[in-house]
């Protein structure tokens, strides 16, 4: 279960981005000036229609003054922060 790449990853990140921007009462135009990313590009990212590059997300996060990881984490499962490694006894079967 859940082996796809989370099809709404982009939409989720976009939603968080938009919420963050709204929190600071910024328009796309203003964020565009802060980031150097055009407003249309920001719109596409926020609406989950564009697969942004890592440095692009980093610029936006920097302008919004939040760590990049904030854009990716579900506030819900953010509780499990502290233990990450998958137990190491993980076998890939006949995949390899």
Residues that bind a copy of itself (CB under 8 A): 3, 5-6, 9-10, 13, 23-24, 26, 30, 33-34, 51-55, 57-59, 62, 65-70, 72-73, 77-78, 81-82, 84-86, 88, 90, 92, 95-96
Q: Which two tokens stand for residue 18?
A: 């938009």
Q: Which two tokens stand for residue 19?
A: 């919420």
Q: Do the Cβ atoms of 42 and 86 come closer than 8 Å? A: no
Quickly tell me which residue has 């995949």 as its tokens. Answer: 95
Quickly tell me which residue has 């719109």 as its tokens. Answer: 43
Least Å distance, CB 38 to a copy of itself, is: 16
Q: Which of 40/63 has CB closer to a copy of itself?
A: 63
Judged by the rule CB under 7 A, the positions of this chain that interact with DNA are 21, 27-29, 35-41, 43-47, 49-53, 56
């Amino acid at each position: 279960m859940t082996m796809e790449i989370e099809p709404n990853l982009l939409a989720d990140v976009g939603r968080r981005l938009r919420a963050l921007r709204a929190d600071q009462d910024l328009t796309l135009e203003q964020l565009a000036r802060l980031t150097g990313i055009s407003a249309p590009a920001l719109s596409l990212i926020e609406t989950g229609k564009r697969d942004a590059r890592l440095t692009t997300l980093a610029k936006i996060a920097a302008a919004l003054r939040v760590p990049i990881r904030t854009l990716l984490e579900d506030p819900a499962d953010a509780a499990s922060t502290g233990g990450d490694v998958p137990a190491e006894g993980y076998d890939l079967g006949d995949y390899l």
